[in-house]
Amino acid sequence: MRSLFLLITLLGGILTAGRASAQSSSQDTVVFDNDSSFDVDYVKLDLWVTPDTQYVAGSVELRSHANVLRPDSTIQLSLWPQLSVDSLFCDGVPAYFRHIGDKLYVTLLHNYAPNAVFDLLIYYHGYPTDWGGLVHYWQGRKPGGIPIVYSTSEPFGTKYWWPCKDNNADKLNSADLYFTCPKADMVGSEGTLVSITENDTSHTFHWHESYPIDHYLIAFVCTEFDTLTHWHYWADGDSTKIMDFVFPSSADTMGNALIQVDSILNQYEQWFGPYPFRNEKYGIAQFYGGGMENETLSFCNDADSGTVAHETAHQWFGDAVTCKTWNDCWLNEGFATYITGLWARVHDGEAYFDTLMKEQEQFITSKPGGTVHTPDSLLITDVLDPRLVYSKGCFLLHMLRFVLGSDTAFFRCLREYVTGPLRYGVASSEDFEHSVEKSSGRNLKWFFDEWVYGDGYPIYSLAWDYHDSYHPALAISETGSTSASPFFEMPIQLEFIGPSIDTIAEVLDDAPLKAFDFSFPKPVTKVIFDPHNWLLDGSLPRTLAVHSEQPAPESALDITQDLNAFTIAFSIPQTGEVTVKIYDLLGRQVCTLPLGVQQNGSHSIPWRPNIGFSPGCYFCRLDAPGSEQVAHFIISN
C-alpha cells in the first residue's frame, strides 16, 4: 500500500491510508472467515466489467478440499449483500445456500472426507459499494472523461466484488482470471496474459497466476491504456517481462519515470534474493488510489519514486510472504515502509534517509501509546494504522538492524525470512521472530516482546558528570511513554568527542536506572546520546558538554548504603572548608551538607536522606581546598 514516507512529506505527519478501501459496517460480522473445515486451493473468475460503472456480473469457481467438515456439511464464504447470487453448484449439481448479511452459507452435496476435493461454481451480479470492492472514476480526475474501474480489496474488500473465503491464512495455489470488457478498454491483472479473445463488441482478457496468491491480492483495473513492455535482465542472466499499463495522456512522462523500476528490482534482489515471480512479470498499472501491491502488478497513482519503491518491496514482503492475520499487517506495511527508506538511502544519500527516519519518529511519538501488533478490529484505521502499522513497524526494523549489529546480518535475516520455508506462504510476528533468531543465532524474544507487543516507547533522562573529562560518568534513567510498558531494554550508543578523540561506545541499558563509567587517554569535551538516531524515544540525538579538559586525580569519594542510611567516605589533600552537594538526574541541586573545616586525610560521615527523596539515581559532589570530587549513587527505596 501507499508509501508512508511520501505521505509524511506531503501531509506533515497527518497521515491517511492514502487509497480507496473498504470501511467497516454494521453488516460485517467477523474480522475474517475463520471456517477451518475447508481450504480453497484454486479460483477461476469469469466476469463482465466496464469502466462506465461498478456493475459486475459473472461466475466464480472455487476448487477446495475438505479438512473436517461440520456434521451438516455447511461451509461459510463471504459476499457483500448488494451482490446477488443467481445460482450455486457443488460438483456440477445445484446446491442449497443462504446469503445472510455479508456471509454466504453453502450446504455441500456430501460430507467429504478429509483432503477430498470439491468444486463450487457461483453465478452472481450486482453493484459493489463505491468505497470498497470496485471503484469507478475518470482519468485526469475529470468527470465525463475517460472512465476507469478498479478493484480495492485490502484489507476487507474482496467480498465486496466476488464471493471468497476471506482469510489471509488460506492462500490460493493458483488462479485463472477472465475479464470481459468493451473493445475500447483493456484489463490489467495478475500473472501472465494467456490470451485476448475478440468478441463482437467486447474482448476477453485471460490472466493466469501460477504462484500462490492471497484472496485480497487478486485485482484488476479496466480503462483505456497504453502498454509499455520490455525485458528486465537479472544478474544471473535470467529475464522477466516488465509490463506497465499507463493512461494515454501520461504515456511519455510515465514511461521515462518507470525506468527506475529496473534499478529498484536489481537492488531488492541483491538485498532479499530472487524476485518471487520471475516466471511471470512485474509491472505498474496507473489508477487513482495511492498505491496497492497486487501480485506481479502494482497499482500506482503515478511514477513517484517513493510509491513505486514501496509497492515493489511488497512483492517480497506482503505478496511472497503475506501476514497470516491483519493483527500482523506490519509484516507487510512496516517492511515496505522501511525498505522504501533504505532505497532512498541508496538513491538520495544518508542525510536524506536520516531526515526520513526523524520524521517517522516524530510521527510515532506524536501520541504516547500503541502497539505494532494491532487488536482485532473491523476498522481500517486500526488494521492499517499509519502511525503504528506503517511507521512504528518501520522503526522496529530500523532498531532490529541496529541490534543485529551490521547491515550484513540484517539483510541476511530478511533474505532468509523471505526465501526460506515461509516463501509463498503466510507468517505471523512469531514466525518472523523465529526466522531472525535462526538466521542470527541469537535469542531475540526480549526485543520482539518489547517492540511488537509493547505499548508506546521509552523516554530517557540523562545525568552527566562533566567535571572530569578523562573519566566521565553517565547515568541513564528510563520510563515508558505509557504505564503499560514502563521499560524497554535496549543497547545504546554514546559518542565521546574531544580535541583529539571521537569514539563511540555501546552500553546495554537493562535497568530503569543505570550508571556507566568511562575512561579515556585524552580529554572528552562532549558526549552525544544515540548519535545515529537508532532509538525510538521521541528525541533527536542529545549533546552534553564536559567543562574541564584537565585530568582529575582519582576520586576518593564513595557513597555506600546501609538500609535507609548512607555513608559518605572521602579523602582530601589539605585542611579546609568542605561542602557536599547532592544533585538529581536533571542536574538540580536537592541537598547541601556543609561539613565545616576538615583536616587533610580520610573521613567518613553518615547521611540519611529526608522523605522528599524519590528512588532514583543521584550525583554527589564534594568541594574542598585543592579537590573537587564527584560520584553517583542510587536510592532504591
- Work out the percent of the chain whose per-residue pLDDT is above 70: 91
Domain extent at residue 484: 458-545
Q: Of the residues 517, 545, 573, which one is the last residue of a structural domain?
A: 545
Q: Do residues 56 and 128 lie in contact, with contact meaning Cβ atoms separated by under 8 Å?
A: yes
Residues 482 and 597 in one domain: no
For 101-119, what is each residue's pLDDT tens digit?
999 999 999 999 999 999 9
Asked whether residue 236 is domain-assigned, the answer is no
Q: Are residues 535 and 465 in the same domain?
A: yes
Alpha-carbon gap, residue 384 to 381, rounded angstroms: 6
Asked whether the beta carbons of 143 and 160 are under 8 A apart, the reply is no
Whether 536 is covered by a domain: the verdict is yes
Q: In this predicted structure, which of 104-113, 237-246, 516-525, 617-626 has the lowest mean pLDDT?
A: 617-626
Is 6 within the bounds of a domain? no
For residues 478 and 623, state if they share a domain.
no
Domain shared by 426 and 526, yes or no: no
pLDDT of the residue at 16: 28
Q: Is residue 477 situated within a structural domain?
A: yes
Q: Is residue 57 in a domain?
A: yes
Q: Are residues 485 and 582 in the same domain?
A: no
Q: Exposure pattern of 161-171 as b/e (b: 16+ CB <10 Å)?
A: bbbbbbbbbbb
Report the alpha-carbon distance of residue 224 to residue 50 in Å, rounded.
11
Cα 201 to Cα 149, 184, 204, 257, 359, distances in angstroms:
19, 9, 11, 34, 52
User: Same structural domain for residues 42 and 159?
Assistant: yes
d(CA 127, CA 138): 18
Local structure of residue 390 (DSSP, 8 states): I
How many angstroms separate the first and last alpha carbons of the chain? 50
Instruction: Tell me, yes or no, whether 475 and 564 share the same domain.
Output: no
Average pLDDT of the chain, as a whole number: 89
Q: Domain boundary at 513, 545, 577, which?
A: 545
Spell 41-73 as b/e; 16+ CB within 10 A means b: bbbbbbbbbbbeebebbbbbebbbebeebeeeb
The residues, ordered by sequence, that sit 6+ positions from 483 with a Cβ below 8 Å of its Cβ are none
pLDDT in tens, 571-605: 988 999 999 988 776 567 788 999 999 999 899 99
The reported pTM is: 0.85
Q: Fill in the DSSP letter of residue 317.
A: B
Specify the CATH number for the domain of residue 616.
Answer: 2.60.40.2360
Predicted local distance difference test score (pLDDT) of residue 632: 76
DSSP classification of residue 374: P
pLDDT of residue 637: 63
pLDDT digits (tens, 9 = 90+) for 207-222: 999 999 999 999 999 9
Residue 540, domain CATH: 2.60.40
Compute the CA torsion angle 279, 266, 424, 238 (nearest 10 deg): 30
Nearest by Cα to 295 from 137, 175, 418, 203: 175
- Nearest residue to 1 via CA among 160, 215, 153: 153
Encode pLDDT of 60-103 as tens digits: 999 999 999 999 999 999 999 999 999 999 999 999 999 999 99
Same domain, 523 and 600: no
CA gap 601, 483 in Å, rounded: 48
In a domain, 55, yes or no: yes
Residue 619, domain member (yes or no): yes
Please say if the pLDDT value at position 235 is more than 70: yes
Shared domain check, 165 and 52: yes
The CB density around residue 114, as the number of other CB atoms within 10 Å, is: 11
Per-residue pLDDT at 6: 42
Domain co-membership, 439 together with 492: no
Retrieve residue 480's grid coordinates: 515508558
Long-range contacts at 140-148 (CB < 8 A, ≥ 24 apart): 140/247, 140/249, 141/288, 146/51, 146/223, 146/224, 146/247, 147/51, 147/52, 147/223, 148/51, 148/221, 148/222, 148/223, 148/287, 148/288
Q: Does residue 194 share a domain with residue 57?
A: yes
pLDDT of residue 26: 33
Question: Which residues share a beta bridge with 123?
Answer: 59, 87
CATH code, domain carrying 158: 2.60.40.1730
Domain co-membership, 87 together with 180: yes
Element (H, E) at 230: strand 226-233
Q: How confident is the model at residue 513 (pLDDT cuts 50, 70, 90)?
A: confident
Domain boundary among 157, 191, 224: 224
Q: For residue range 279-313, what is the model confidence (pLDDT) as tens digits?
A: 999 999 999 888 999 999 999 999 999 999 999 99
**CATH number of the domain enclosing 376:** 1.10.390.10
The answer to the question of residue 551 being in a domain is no
Distances (CA, A) of 486 to 257, 460, 492: 47, 11, 17
Distance CA 1, CA 482 (A): 29
The total of structural domains in the chain comes to 4
Q: Which residues contact 260 (CB under 8 A, 6 or more apart)?
A: 303, 305, 308
